[in-house]
Structures are given as structure tokens and as C-alpha cells.
Amino acid sequence: MQASMKIPHLIAGTLALVALAGCGDGGGPSVKIGLNTELTGEMPAVGASSKNAAELFASQLNAAGGIPIGDKKLPLKLVIGDNGAKADQAAAITQRLISQDNVLAMIGPDASACAIPASEIAESLKCPMISPWSTNPKTTLDTTTGKPKSYVFRACFTDTFQAGVLAKFVLNNLHAKTAAVLYDVASEAPNGQATLFKETFEKNGGKIVGFETYTTGDRDFSAQLTKIKATNPEVIFLPAYYNDVPLIAQQARRLGITAPFVGSDAWSSPEIIKLGGADIDGSYFCNHYSTQIATPVAQKFMNDYQAKYGQAPDDVAALTYDAFGLLVEAVKAGGKLDRAAIRDALAKIAKYDGVTGTMQFVPPSGDPIKSAVVLQIKDGKFVWVANAQP
């Protein structure tokens, strides 16, 4: 009787293992990992970087034999979904990757507006998710209970940390006591970054003289910028995505605003330099790593990426590469194709030397402890200015 009762459990376990393993290109078993990213929509440069890094990581790992699991090595198979930089599409892709494609885990989305709804689904389906680039605290936090989500992690720092870095940089390095803020009220990450910067700046002795908003898709910022000009701020904090910054900066300079801009990590795509030109020269922003102070691990990644794609990797690429590295580390440590085992192993990673620096997780949080850098846009390049420790 007892033996017959065990058979269904054994069959179920075997079926689950087969589903999560999937098949490789050659027909053999593989480890299916989902990539949920912004290939189209408002920020295609983000999705392109994420996809490039994911494919580079997979090709290198598979060339070395694959992921060690027990006494075997299995190739990594990417299952890529385009979320179009839209929240509802990101949620649908998450559901498909986990429930239909049966991925073992999911990397992405990158933008917080997409990562937050995706994280809710990943958590409910108990599938490990690592967002490379989402800095909003809600991504890893259950807002109902106030406790960390169990299955959701990130490879980047949070907006809370970033706000402190930028506020103190403006006060201590730029010696500015007044600042104005302009942000997209309809976009999750910029909204949170603006509020946190204001709180931190004022708490440390600064004064916010203007706090203006716009909405995703706006192209005329003259009304907000005219109000900001009247307050004569020493700096303007602009936590906008790279596609919005150039137009805002251009309109500001035309109005005679000369104050330097300070941005968040959402500025990090090199596209911002091509689009912004002289209007953003001299601006500063917080970022996840700098090519100028690269460690040997980062230098190798940069060289490999440059050789494969003919361009330098941005922070989204570096963070995506690190997210895959963290995940494979957890799969190896877990020792089996099991989502819960991988989740447990991820939470226990005490030290991982990645492209974007050393990081560690302290349970129950899915937010890594890691540092940041401040860069300046100068003569058409991102120039390292300072490091910021947690």
C-alpha cells in the first residue's frame, strides 16, 4: 500500500524535472531560463543591451560545457519575451514564461514599471526572478505585508540607496544647497526617485525650490521649466529615462537655464550622449559601474562584449550578465532543477564578484548589498567621478 502511494509522487517529481529541464537545440536536456525584457516600446536600447548580455553569457557558459548539476552539465537555453516596456505586457510575458514555457527561473524585466507587476506573478507562482536594473523598492517588497518577497531578487542597488548617494553628492561634492526636481509622475522609478531625493536632500540641509512633474509621452516641458527657472536652483534633479532627458535639456537651455542636471541610473544608456549632445554636457548621474575603474572580471566582460557586438556594454548589459551569473551560482549551489532550491541558494549567496562589483544577499531581503558610482557626461563620454559605498 505504501509503495503504491509513492508512485504518483515519483511520477510527478519526474515530470516536473523534465518540464524545467526542457530540450536543448540538439534535442537533449537543457536548463530553460526566461528573459523578460524591453525590446520594443519606449526604451529599446535597454532591451537590446539585456538581450546581448544574456546571449553572450549563454554562449560562453555553453561553450564551457553548461551548468554543473550533480554529476552532469546541462546547456542553458534562453527563452526570450519582449514586454514592449509596458506593465501589462510584462505581466503576460511572465505568466507565459513560467506557466507555458516552464522556465526554471526568469531574468528581468529591467524597467521598474514592468518589473513590479512581473514580480507579483513570479512570487505567486513561486518562480525565482532576478531583475537586473529595477531600482524601485516595490519590486522586491510585498506592499501588502511590508515584508520582502521570497522569490524576487535584483542585481542592482535600490532607489533608497541611490537617492542618498545623489543628495549627498550634490551637497558635499557640488556644494549646492538648492535644487529643483522635474520627473515623470506616471512612471514608477522616476516618481520614487524624485520623492526619495527630495526627502534625503532636505533631511541633510538642502532646500528643494521647485518640484515639477510631467507625464509619459509629453514633449513640451516649457511650462515646468519656466517655473523652475524662476526659482534659480543651483542644480536640477532629473530622474528621467534616457529617451526623455535630451529633449528636456534642450528646452531648458533654450530658456536660458544654465544649472547642471543631475540624473539617476536611468540615464545610463550611451544613446543619451548621441541624442543630448552639448545640452547635457557637464551633467552628473548615478550608475552601477564604470568602465574606467573596471576590475579584471569587468574588464574581461567589456572586452568580450566589445568583440561580439562592436560596442561597449552599458550598465544594463553588465547587470544582466551579473543576474545570470548569480542565477547559475544558485543553480549549482542548489544542486537540482528545483525552483525552491534555487530560491534558497540565491538568498544565501554571501559573496559574488560580478562585473558591477561585489554583492551579497542578507536574508530575507532580495536586495544586494553593493556600491554605486557617480559619472559625469564630459566631451561625449561617461567619466568616473566618485564611488559610493552602502
Same domain assignment for residues 16 and 130: yes
pLDDT at 40: 98
Q: Evaluate whether residue 366 is within a structural domain.
A: no
pLDDT in tens, 61-119: 999 999 999 889 999 999 999 999 999 999 999 999 999 999 999 999 999 999 999 99
Instruction: Quote the longest CA-to-CA distance of the chain.
Output: 85
**Nearest Cα to 219, choosing from 263, 251, 254?**
251
Distance CA 270, CA 316 (A): 11
Q: Is the pLDDT of residue 20 over 80?
A: no
Look at residue 11 in the predicted model and tell me its pLDDT: 37
pTM for this predicted structure: 0.89
Q: What is the CATH number of the domain that holds 120?
A: 3.40.50.2300
In a domain, 352, yes or no: yes
Mean pLDDT of 225-239: 98
Residues 54 and 35 in one domain: yes
Q: Which of 26-30, 124-128, 155-159, 252-256 has the lowest mean pLDDT?
A: 26-30
Handedness of CA 45, 47, 48, 53 (dihedral sign): positive
For residue 21, what pLDDT is reported?
63
**With bands split at pLDDT 50, 70 and 90, how would you rate the model's confidence at 390?**
confident
CB 69 within 8 Å of CB 104: no
Statement: residue 2 has pLDDT above 70: no
Domain count, the chain: 2
Same domain, 257 and 313: no
228: containing domain: 159-287+374-388
pLDDT (tens digit, 9 = 90+) per residue, 279-288? 999 999 999 9
Instruction: Judge whether 138 lies within some domain.
Output: yes
pLDDT of 150 over the 80 cut: yes
pLDDT of residue 27: 59
Say yes or no: 203 and 100 in one domain.
Answer: no
Percent of the chain at pLDDT > 90 equals 88
The DSSP call for residue 61 is H
Residue 131 lies in a domain: yes
Task: Look at residue 24 in the predicted model and tell me its pLDDT.
Answer: 60
Average pLDDT, stretch 235-244?
Answer: 95
Residues 124 and 175 in one domain: no
In a domain, 120, yes or no: yes
What spatial distance separates the first Cα and last Cα of the chain, rounded to whole Å? 58
pLDDT at 155: 98
Tell me the pLDDT of the chain averaged across its residues. Answer: 93
Domain co-membership, 140 together with 94: yes
Looking at the structure, do residues 104 and 122 belong to the same domain, yes or no?
Answer: yes
Q: Give the model's confidence band at 123: pLDDT under 50 very low, under 70 low, under 90 confident, else very high.
A: very high
Are 163 and 151 within one domain? no
pLDDT tens across 177-190, in order?
A: 999 999 999 988 89
Residues 152 and 163 grouped into a single domain: no
Q: Return the pLDDT at 202.
A: 97
Residues 72 and 170 in one domain: no
Residue 39 carries which side chain, given as an amino acid letter?
A: L
Is 221 within a domain? yes
Looking at the domain assignment, is residue 364 inside a domain?
no
Report the alpha-carbon angle 131-132-134, nearest 5. Answer: 65
For residues 32 and 112, membership in a common domain is answered with: yes
Going by C-alpha positions, the residue among 346, 333, 335, 331 that lies closest to residue 150 is 346
Q: What is the mean predicted confidence (pLDDT) over 294-303?
A: 96
Residue 67 lies in a domain: yes
- Based on the fold, state whether residues 202 and 141 are members of the same structural domain: no
Rounded alpha-carbon distances, angstroms, from residue 175 to 170, 199, 235, 292, 343: 6, 18, 10, 25, 44
Residue 209 has phi, psi (to 5 degrees) of -95, -10
